[in-house]
Structure 1
Amino acid sequence: MVKWLFVFLFLASAVYVHFRGKVRHRLGRQLLDHSTFMAPVNVLMYAFSRVPTTAFIPEPGDHFPELEPLRANWQVIREEARRLRELQHIKAAEGYNDVGFNSFFRRGWKRFYLKWYDDAHPSAAELCPQTTALLRQIPSVKAAMFTELPPGGELRPHRDPFAGSLRLHLGLETPNDDACFIEVDGNRYSWRDGQWTMFDETFIHSARNDTQSNRIILFCDVERPMKYRWAQALNRFIARNLIAAGASPNMEGDKTGGINRLFKYFYVLRLKAKGLRERNKNLYYGLKYLAVVLVVAFIVWI
């Protein structure tokens, strides 16, 4: 009886996540999306969130006053980002060691990690001392990076797997043009220098830069505040033991998390799967759906 209760709760959570918001993936894609497997945890995050669970969070400073030093010092942060860009340190991963953002690199997106669920990367502490000093004063910022979206760059529609954080974007060097934008659950925001926005990254979102100018922002994952201590503890446990394993290096000497150390081996299988998809799309998708069915059958069997 308990087993079937868990199965029902998992399926109900997955259905809720799929239909949440105005924009959704095709059902076939959603079945295989990582957010489906995190659905029961994410539903708890939404249910006990102390901030709105809308696509965009209005007035981030009202909900997170501790973030104000970032906006107040945006020009200082911009200077360090500009220096990094001149040194060509804002870049794609040099190997298969950034599973969380690997697909983004193919369409122009670049990044330089400042921190990832820990203290600053050694490279960031050395090259961006003022920005990392500001971040150290704000424990609720769990991850931070500079991200670049060049002219013609884009991020295809996707949703992040874990609802334990909210995403903050602070414009540093942007086109200041409505043709450079992010769209979250069908709602569009165009970046501007010195201005910020916060959104729930578990809604489907995408981004484009259809201008002739570069776009650099400060990108932060901010811990979602919860109504109860047990919910906050659960959020932090998952972040510390799962999300932190996604750490990716900027350069030699930076930490690489366990998930990313394994990713290079997984990517070999992924390349073979892509080859199969090119040769026989029906067989490829048939095997993917069969794998999902087998996982569900195993859960029911145990």
Structure 2
Amino acid sequence: MRLGRRLRIALDALIARSSLIPNDPLLDPDLFDWTAMLRANWQAIRDEALAVVRQPDLVPLLDEISPDHQDIAPPGKWRSFFLHGYGFSVPENLARCPRTADLVARIPGLNSAFFSILAPGAHIPAHRGVTKALLTCHLGLIVPEGRLEMAVGPETVRWAPGETILFDDSWTHEVWNETAETRVILLLQVKRPLRAPGKWLADAFLWLIRKSPFVREAKANVELWNASLAKIERSHGLDATA
């Protein structure tokens, strides 16, 4: 990851030149057909997310799962329920959200998918994603009234229930939830459409990230969390899918 950060400027410049879509901070979601599929099925996804967030303490904090996020995760306020992460699936979580699992399985070039759960008063400071090779899509699920917005480069956007936001998170971005309620979205990362030679370098870089200690540690932490949760549920005679 340290090496990747040092190479990021040069790599991102090459990826930008190889991109088959604009390099703007915010992009038209309809560049990808699957965003319409998400919008058409957002209520089914929302219902599964609601079942997850009814017991928020059973969803891990992002900085506990991914220590790489400790610098930006507001303490105790950002939880993430992973379905996929850098090509790795989380079978227990997919089983709890079968409709969402089926929908995201249809997305070409999927890298990661998770419910991002941001508590009231949370602020995610300005930061950048690891590579321009990935694009990020947000599907609004639970969107409280009040100041709830994200700045991406020079642009500012607000989520809406059932709507998608597509953006390039290699631009500096920042999030505020100054409402009195929890915000929940489905967050997806997908591969940017590229021509050679950028595609070759992007695929190689993503392969290295997948093999990195950053991803291996996060994967192990998710597995440990789910194993501990299953053990507690068995001892109390509970059903994790209830």
TM-score range, shorter chain: 0.7 to 0.9
* The 10-residue stretch of structure 1 (243-252 or 102-111) with the greater mean CA deviation from structure 2: 243-252
SS at match of 2:107: coil
Q: Which amino acid aligns with 2:29?
A: P
Contact 1:92 1:105 in 2 (8 A): no
SS at match of 1:43: helix
The answer for the alignment partner of 2:105 in structure 1 is: 136
Contact 2:134 2:191 in 1 (8 A): yes
Contact 2:18 2:199 in 1 (8 A): no
Using CA pairs below 8 Å that are at least 6 residues apart, which structure has the higher relative contact order?
2
- Gap change, CA 1:244 and 1:110, over 3 Å in 2: farther
- The two structures have a TM-score, normalised by structure 2, of 0.81
SS at match of 2:20: coil
Matched, 1:152 2:121: yes
Query: Which protein is richer in helix relative to its size?
Result: 1
Alignment of 1:41-190 (within 5 A): 41-57=11-27, 59-61=28-30, 63-88=31-56, 89-93=58-62, 95=64, 97-103=65-71, 104-106=73-75, 108-177=77-146, 179-190=147-158
Matched, 1:232 2:202: no
Which residues of structure 2 form unaligned runs of 5+? 228-242
- Cα distance in structure 2, aligned partners of 1:236 and 1:209: 34
CA drift at 1:211: 1.1
Deviation track 1:225-260 (CA, whole Å, cap 9, x = no partner) reads 0133x43232222212224642524343879xxxxx
The answer for the alignment partner of 1:278 in structure 2 is: none
- Cα distance in structure 2, aligned partners of 1:117 and 1:108: 23
Q: Which amino acid aligns with 1:242?
A: I
CA drift at 1:183: 0.5
- Cα distance in structure 1, aligned partners of 2:97 and 2:224: 16
- Cα distance in structure 2, aligned partners of 1:42 and 1:202: 8
Q: CA RMSD in A?
A: 2.4
CA drift at 1:119: 4.8
- Gap change, CA 1:208 and 1:144, over 3 Å in 2: same
Which residues of structure 1 form unaligned runs of 5+? 1-31, 256-302
CA drift at 1:75: 0.8
CA drift at 1:35: 4.1
Matched, 1:194 2:162: yes
Deviation track 1:54-89 (CA, whole Å, cap 9, x = no partner) reads 1101x212x111332222111111111111111323
SS at match of 1:38: helix
Q: Which amino acid aligns with 2:32?
A: F
Q: Percent identity?
A: 25
Contact 1:48 1:231 in 2 (8 A): yes
Contact 2:110 2:190 in 1 (8 A): yes
Matched, 1:40 2:10: yes
Contact 2:117 2:184 in 1 (8 A): yes
- Cα distance in structure 1, aligned partners of 2:52 and 2:178: 23
- The two structures have a TM-score, normalised by structure 1, of 0.66
Aligned pair count reads: 219
- Gap change, CA 1:254 and 1:238, over 3 Å in 2: farther
Contact 1:176 1:190 in 2 (8 A): no
- Cα distance in structure 1, aligned partners of 2:211 and 2:186: 19
Contact 2:35 2:164 in 1 (8 A): no
Larger Rg: 1
Contact 2:63 2:69 in 1 (8 A): no
The answer for the alignment partner of 2:224 in structure 1 is: 252
- Cα distance in structure 1, aligned partners of 2:54 and 2:88: 25
